[in-house]
Amino acid sequence: IILLQYTQMSVHFCEIVVNEANFVRKCISAESCQDDLWGKLVCTNFKVSFITHNSLPRQRFQCTHRLLGEHDIPLACVEQVVTVNDVKGKQKILGSNQKLKFNPTELILYCKDFRIIRFRFDEAGPESAKKVCLAIAHYSHPADPQLLFGFEYVGKRYHGSTGERMNGIDPGGGMQTTLFDCSSDWDREIKRTGASEWRVCTINQGYFISPSLPEFFVVPVSLADQDLKQYACFFYSQRIPLWCWNHSSGSALVRMSNISDPQQQRKVEQRISSAITKSHPLRSDVFKSDLDKNLPNIQDIQAALLKLRQICVIDPFEESEEKWLSSLESSRWMEYVRTFLRHAVEVVYMLESRNVPVILLEKEDRDLSCVISCLVQLMCDPHCRSLHGFQGLIQKEWVMAGHRFLDRCNHLKKNDKEESPVFLLFLDCVWQLWNQYPAAFEFTEVYLTVLGDSMWVPIFSTFLFNCPRQRAENSRFGVCKMFECFLKSLMFTKAWDWSQQFSLKDQTLFNNPLYVGKIATCVQNGTVKTFTHRRSKKNYSSTLRGLPSALRNGSLGPNDTLARRNSLVLRLRSDLSQVREQQETPSERFIRDFFSRPVDLQGLLLPQLLPSHLSVWKLYFLRWVPEAQIPQGGPITAFHKLSVLTDEIDMLQNQLRQYKGAGGTPNNLHAEHSKMYFKATSTPHQPPAPPEYLSSSFPFSPVGNLCRPGILGSPLSKFLNGAKIWLSTETLANETI
């Protein structure tokens, strides 16, 4: 046993090598072995690592992960371990504590982030090959949460000696992510949103009422603590209704679990609804939205992702383009993304247009309501579209609200029925919004992709536990068996401390150069202060959406067309538009009115929702496919040019400040303080050329991360270059948003 102890960034890394095999070949291509790498395959209690002295082509652009090397796979990311014996024609899926009766000649790892990694043992000793395969299968299926590596990994002390928070804070003392783990965080959120008729409730301190609720949450002023204690027993898991957010009109967004006692249902619902009504300035009645009836369940979402993975990275793409696209449609993943976005728009309509409070109803209020409540706030509140605001939103609506990350990520591989990529579906919904309004978000799609990957690095309490109580109980002790006495007082780190994973330079990939304005609301001395940067009121809506200016409510004007591949053009009949106009509902009118006005990137944002408006999140789902790469192409080329332009503007503004004697960063230090990953040169007349290594997969490398039959000559390239997912002509013509 070898103890590896890393001291980077003042963190302790108690990683133990469990087993290893020498003379292992990592397969780079399924069709040829000439590019394969030779090295040592190592299984630790944290990851599967391949150590080689050979180098891969096109690897210079890859971000350097501080916890994982370029050939490393976290054990929590391993979905399936498959061993193969070519000679005997045998194959076996390995689980924990299983036996292997044959000597493997090949190991295939199917990963949750859509990678497929293959290793060959042609020159390795048969016994060492078998042992390392069994070790990987065993350690990727821990039987207890405390066997997860997060309990061995101990990061920086979460609170300093003065009680000041350490994780997630900007080294320069800037803004930090709100964690909503204390009453003062909720107080600030109440003041920020103007929810004057709501208060912080402390009856769950010590998790006395419900283990899955946070210790502090917000309730109507008119509801007394004694009443809440009395009503708690009538709700599933004693989950009292939770306040999420307040619209500027005074309408509240509330989430609530179902009432388990039918005899008390009407009485309790009336009392809760009455209290919420009293909190509204106009005493508007409450609208209840039943998510269980209107949205797919967690099993449907899981089945859709499995089909999507099969289509994207496991099955070879079909020669027929239409068959591949129809397979993609039949997975229903894009349909579910659209369904959640559409439901969020309906809730926004009730808050924004009808001016009524909304209650999101879900049986246990721990899955679907997390998605909808966040999407509504992203559409309505520009603060949630900033980096720290978005992270605070996840803290509030997912982490502290009791989303079952441990079960839904299936870190323990115990119950496949509980596994569901609800959080990944949410990130896909956010990406769809980002893709339609990129200038409205402070962060990039690289940030969203990395955030999705962080679920499979189980060292952060953010994505490791099922509820606040479980998180609090396990966070009191970072138990490293060999140094237990020394480490008892240390605590888990949060995912928002990105310096644990990436350097400051790599973190600049999170900064969006398109972000045209920002609004920062904070509370100082009990007063709400807002700092706003506004642009001129020009009509940028058509350009930003990338759609015909006459496109309203998902339908085409008489002179507009939407081009389809092979010169096929779909045009919706004008008489159909007239029929829709006659049958238009108030919510459809609200949406049509929104799209008839110039977009305000710091105001309300509604997504276009026809199937042709939604795209596959290529950077996440197709990044490992070598044939899917577009060298020197894809969105990264625009990102490069915009980053250079933004950096050049910052550099010139800094020089102007220095000229005026108003301070500024010295020119030789500008590059270090730049917020852009790609920087301008000191001579603006000679802009830097795009680096040779740029491709549509940037900053991820598909080389060696997806080993299956190639897809050259397939219609995928057309799809990647902008082709949309289309339904049949009749389905599209009858479709409404």
Helices H, strands E: what count in the chain?
24, 20
DSSP 614: -
CA dist 429 and 376 (Å) reads: 11
Is 298 annotated in some ligand binding site? yes
CA dist 23 and 4 (Å) reads: 22
DSSP readout, 681-705?
-SSTTSPPPPPTT-BTTTT---TTT
Task: For residue 318, give the amino acid letter.
Answer: E
Exposure on the CB side of residue 729, measured as CA atoms within 13 A: 8
How far does Cα 654 stand from its chain's mean position? 34
Q: Taking the CB of residue 611, how many other CB atoms lie within 10 A of it?
A: 17
Is 725 annotated in some ligand binding site? no
Spatial contact of 464 and 147, defined as CB atoms under 8 Å apart: no
In terms of phi and psi (left: phi > 0; alpha: psi -120 to 50; beta: otherwise), the region of 632 is: left
Contacts of 266 (CB under 8 A, 6+ apart): none
Contacts of 450 (CB under 8 A, 6+ apart): 501, 502, 510
**Radius of gyration (Cα) for the chain, nearest Å?**
27
Task: For residue 321, give the amino acid letter.
Answer: E
The residues pairing with 528 across neighbouring beta strands, listed in sequence order, are 523
Spatial contact of 437 and 471, defined as CB atoms under 8 Å apart: no
Residue with tokens 């721990």: 366
DSSP 555: B
Pairing verdict, β 242-246 and 358-362: unpaired
Spatial contact of 188 and 171, defined as CB atoms under 8 Å apart: no
Residue with tokens 């993304």: 337
Pull the structure tokens for residue 233: 């027993």
CA dist 490 and 498 (Å) reads: 19
Pull the structure tokens for residue 441: 């978000």
Max Cα–Cα distance, the chain, nearest Å: 79
In terms of phi and psi (left: phi > 0; alpha: psi -120 to 50; beta: otherwise), the region of 5 is: beta
Query: Binding-site residues for substrate, please?
Result: 297-298
Query: Binding-site residues, please?
Result: 297-298
